[in-house]
Amino acid sequence: MSSGNESISPSIDNDDDWREWCDEWPIRADTTYLNHGSFGPTPRAVRYCQLEWQKQMTSQPMDFFARQFEPAWLESRKRLAAFVGTAADNLVVVENSTAGMNVVASTVRLQPGDEVLLTDHEYGAVERIWRRACQTAGAAAPVIAQLPRQFESADQVVDAIFRAVTGRTRLLVVSHVTSPTAIILPVQKIADEAQRRGIAMCIDGPHAPAQVPVALDELACDFYTASLHKWVSAPLGSGFLYVAPRWQERVRTPILSWGRVSPTKPVAWWEEFVW
């Protein structure tokens, strides 16, 4: 055991200490792979589990999809909810953060003249999503808040963002960990100020889970979307969208299908995302 001031970490004194971990990833021998921020290769243990699910599916597809799929979907969502600190019914499973952000863009119904506020550290695809959403609604082009060239305090960042807020700002979109610059933004302080001003807030969080604590109920944002194929090392196509209860009845999925296994009819907001 260690005292309260000591940390416990694995020994990394020689190559043998790393071998167990290196064997989990089939990285080419000529490559040292550091870019989990884009595509995190899936470790061996996860790949084996993934293959087992594929075997179940292909061995009897009707049994799998009609009887096994929904309970497995709900169980995985339950475990994910515990990991990110919220109730399962506040989450849906989506392909990645971008897919979740498109759901938010379909849900937040902008009006002509409304403004969406982003920062100059936001991911390029997110900016594209909101440019199109604003254009479709006849709203103003997204407003880009300029963050400090040198970050000195959380309050400095909050002030820089809210200096760009106007009476027409309907939604604030910020990254938890920025993609271009790898900066951890003070999302709790930003969310608190947005809530005080009555401005909806969406956090783009694909780089946060497994790097920084994510406690969604404490954060009290309106939306949070993330990818799990990065630092969590889940298979590609693993992501989630959090929607605060006050928004759930207004959620609109861009892709409409059956929702639940027929003849069950979707009732709760999240059910449209199962199928």
245 preceded by a cis bond (ω within 30 of 0): no
pLDDT of residue 2: 36
The helix (H) or strand (E) run that includes residue 172 is strand 169-175
Token pair 């993609």 in the structure block, residue: 179
Which tokens hold the place of 171?
Answer: 């939604």
pLDDT of residue 38: 86
Token pair 């119904």 in the structure block, residue: 109
pLDDT in tens, 96-127: 999 999 999 999 999 999 999 999 999 999 99
From CA 162, how far away is CA 201, in angstroms rounded?
Answer: 12
From CA 238, how far away is CA 253, in angstroms rounded?
Answer: 17
From CA 72, how far away is CA 233, in angstroms rounded?
Answer: 19
Which tokens hold the place of 253?
Answer: 């999925």
Per-block mean pLDDT, blocks of 10 residues, the chain (275 long): 40 69 86 86 92 96 95 96 98 97 97 97 97 96 96 96 97 96 96 97 96 95 96 93 97 92 90 94
**Up-side HSE of residue 200: CA atoms within 13 Å toward CB?**
21
pLDDT of residue 3: 37
pLDDT of residue 188: 97
pLDDT of residue 262: 82
| Inter-residue contact 112 to 138 (CB < 8 Å) | yes
From CA 66, how far away is CA 88, in angstroms rounded?
Answer: 22
Which tokens hold the place of 190?
Answer: 């930003």
| Inter-residue contact 157 to 123 (CB < 8 Å) | no
pLDDT of residue 39: 85
pLDDT in tens, 146-193: 999 999 999 999 999 999 999 999 999 999 999 999 999 999 999 999
Q: Which residues are registered as beta bridge partners of 93? A: 240
pLDDT of residue 13: 64
Give the residue from 195, 156, 191, 162 showing the smallest Cα distance to 175.
Answer: 191
**Up-side HSE of residue 98: CA atoms within 13 Å toward CB?**
12
Q: What strands, in cross-sheet order, belong to the sheet with 143-145?
A: 91-94, 239-243, 223-227, 200-204, 169-175, 115-119, 143-145
Q: For residue 202, give the DSSP letter.
A: E
The residues near 243 (Cβ < 8 Å, ≥ 6 apart) are 90, 91, 92, 107, 222, 223, 251, 269
Q: pTM (2 decimals)? A: 0.91
